[in-house]
Amino acid sequence: MSTMSDAPTSRRAQRRWVLWGVLFIVLLVIAAVAWVTIRGALAKQDLESSVAHVETLRSQLAKGNTAAAQRTAAKLEASAADARAKTSDPVWAAFEHTPFIGGNLRAVRQVSAIVDDVATDAVRPVAGVLGDVDVDAFKPDGGKIDLQPLVAAQPAVAKATTALGKATRAADRIDTGDTVSAVTDAVNQLRASLASASKQAAVADKVVQLAPAMLGDGGAKQYLVLFQNNAELRAGGGIPGAVALLDVEDGAISLGQQASTSDFPQADDPVLPLTTDTQGLYGSITGEFIQDVTLTPRFDTSAKLAREMWKRQFGERVDGVLSIDPVTLGYILKATGPVDLPTGDRLTSDNAVQLLLSDAYAKYPDPVVQDLFFASAASAVFTKVSEGGFDPKEFIAALTTGVDEGRVKLWSADKGEQAELTGTAIAGGLPSSDSSSQQFGVYLNDATGAKMDYYLEKTVSVGSEVCRKDGRPTWTVEVTLKSTAPADAATSLPEYVTGAGAFGVPSGVVRTNVAVYAPSSGVYVTSTQDGKTASPQTAMDGDHPVAQFETTLSPGKSTTIRVQYLGAADQGRTPVDAVSTPGVHQSVTQPLVTSCESPVD
């Protein structure tokens, strides 16, 4: 039986046990914090290693070093898996629910998981086929491209594309509302990288899915090639100055019949029905002259019209239409090196544009001889490409640049193939807007009836400003055109170039129709030309509001058009951009600074 004197001793013992318990809990907390801190530091190292591996992988792929790229891909997968393991244990999960640091730990864990998923489900499958598919796979051997590696790569690329899309959506769901700036920046960087990679993968997926079939894997196909001439602008690039048949079968490509636009008579009526919008903006001539099928910026319409004209003239219904211009030809010549023409001319990457779009008209004044010259140039370059006489990395870069600049376009008569092409840059559709960007279109059509657009320079700028209480943005598009033709152009340039006044435009003067397309939500407000109120033609092309202007420039003169639209209230913070007709001189859309006091000058 205990006594009164034992009570203090018992209480002291209890306090000691309580103190020991508290101390134990404190030690556990300290150990847990240390554990999370150490694991976090190690995970950070693994993630930084993953980033370094990604950069190395990009460099190796760009150089075509597939063996090294496969080894780096394995390292990336290992470092990503380690980062995930270090951020997914029970202690880490418990600390995700603590104040102040919980949100940061949760975001780091999610980033680690996403990087690991991408390494496992996107990088690994593609790395597995790198040895069979590289840039050399696109180089003909004996005039033929081996399509089987592309066919074999289809499942891996499709899996990678799906994984990147899933990872992009997962990254967008990460909550950074209470994370520190370093974590927020890392998440934003991941989102941007995944968005870019996802888009590139989607393009690659379409290429490996479509290329074999379109290159004749399932049977022979024929494509009509339009060689657009940027010296006489059309919304789609330029007039089709020459056309040719491309025959493909099981990867073998050959250039068939070539024809001049003079071989196509004017049709009494459009060869295919035109929409009311197309007729109203560009006239029935869009479907009557092969030179005018590209008046519309809708390449699918241009391709269908050209296909029908070829069928009526030569009795063949082609499987698709490809468009290319001399600027892209110049890019391709960087891959092939110079080619010698039967005329004695040497075509190089440096002189292709000037020789084909300017010098040829002075050197060969007879239009018939001009046509033969252009045909021989196209044939010479094609022959070198079909024989494999080019650097494949440079060749792919040339085509990629041509597509990005809107100079290379492709349409397929196969509905399934065309559905895959639609929405991509090579399809040549109207401006496309979404939550990430509101896109305008600026399209130029020559009204001189000559080749004076070799001397036309273009600058396009777009800006957005919220000036209204309801939050609707004011969108402004500015287009500046300048004629760089020599002062004595009327007499110093060939009549074939100036037009000699044949269409009511004085020699040496450039007349251009400028069509500005707004996003479907845009409402036309007002416009000016050189500071004075303008009265453009306003119309619709499908869902797109259009304002079309006519400009006339003497040598050395310039003109500036400013158009104002009103956007939707939920687009006040959405970036704006513009695509435009690819001319002789490549131009990049510039940001335009506007103010609410005077959005349109």
Residues 103-120 have pLDDT tens digits of 877 887 888 888 888 888
3-state SS assignment for residue 519: coil
Name the domain boundary from 368, 393, 419.
Answer: 419
Residue 1: per-residue pLDDT: 47
The answer on pLDDT for 51 being more than 70 is no
518/499 same-domain check = yes
Helices (H), 342-457: 352-354, 360-363, 367-386, 392-404, 415-421
289/177 same-domain check = no
449/492 same-domain check = yes
What residues pair up with 281 in beta bridges, in sequence order? none
Report yes or no: 420 and 206 within 8 Å, Cβ to Cβ. yes
Residues 212-245 have pLDDT tens digits of 889 888 899 999 999 999 999 999 999 998 999 9
The enclosing domain of 527 has a CATH number of 2.60.40
Contacts of 34 (CB under 8 A, 6+ apart): none
Q: How far are the Cα atoms of 139, 180, 398, 409, 448 from residue 143, in angstroms, in the given order?
A: 9, 58, 20, 23, 42
575/506 same-domain check = yes
What is the average pLDDT across 22-33?
Answer: 44
532 falls in which pLDDT band (50, 70, 90)? Answer: very high
Cα 550 to Cα 514: distance, rounded to the nearest angstrom? 6
The answer on pLDDT for 53 being more than 60 is yes
Report yes or no: 226 and 322 within 8 Å, Cβ to Cβ. yes
Report yes or no: 568 and 576 within 8 Å, Cβ to Cβ. no
Amino acid at 23: L
Residue 465: per-residue pLDDT: 94
Is 1 within a domain? no
What is the average pLDDT across 31-55?
Answer: 56
Contacts of 537 (CB under 8 A, 6+ apart): 281, 546, 547, 548, 549
3-state SS assignment for residue 559: strand
What residues pair up with 578 in beta bridges, in sequence order? 440
The answer on pLDDT for 164 being more than 50 is yes
Residue 36: per-residue pLDDT: 41
Poorest-pLDDT segment among 165-174, 348-357, 468-477, 488-497: 165-174
Report yes or no: 163 and 210 within 8 Å, Cβ to Cβ. no
Report yes or no: 233 and 445 within 8 Å, Cβ to Cβ. yes
Poorest-pLDDT segment among 201-210, 360-369, 444-453, 516-525: 201-210
Is 586 within a domain? yes
Is 425 within a domain? no
Which pTM does this prediction carry?
Answer: 0.84
14/105 same-domain check = yes
The answer on pLDDT for 474 being more than 50 is yes
Mean residue pLDDT across the chain? 86
Highest mean pLDDT (candidates 36-50, 64-78, 460-474): 460-474
166/237 same-domain check = no
Residue 31: per-residue pLDDT: 41
Report yes or no: 528 and 601 within 8 Å, Cβ to Cβ. yes
Q: How far are the Cα atoms of 68, 221, 422 from residue 128, in angstroms, in the given order?
A: 12, 31, 29
Residues 429-443 have pLDDT tens digits of 999 998 889 999 999
Cα 594 to Cα 351: distance, rounded to the nearest angstrom? 39
Residue 233: per-residue pLDDT: 97
The enclosing domain of 397 has a CATH number of 3.40.630
Domains in the chain, number: 3
332 falls in which pLDDT band (50, 70, 90)? Answer: very high
Name the domain boundary from 166, 187, 212.
Answer: 212
Residue 25: per-residue pLDDT: 46
Residue 318: per-residue pLDDT: 97
207/225 same-domain check = no
Q: How far are the Cα atoms of 10, 39, 44, 120, 191 from residue 178, in angstroms, in the given order?
A: 48, 21, 19, 30, 17
Q: Scanning the structure block, which residue is given the tokens 């600026």?
A: 442
Neighbours of 566 (CB within 10 A): 18
Dihedral sign (CA 436, 438, 444, 445): positive
Is 283 within a domain? yes
* Residues spanned by the domain of 284: 221-419
Report yes or no: 280 and 258 within 8 Å, Cβ to Cβ. no
Name the domain boundary from 382, 399, 419.
Answer: 419
3-state SS assignment for residue 378: helix
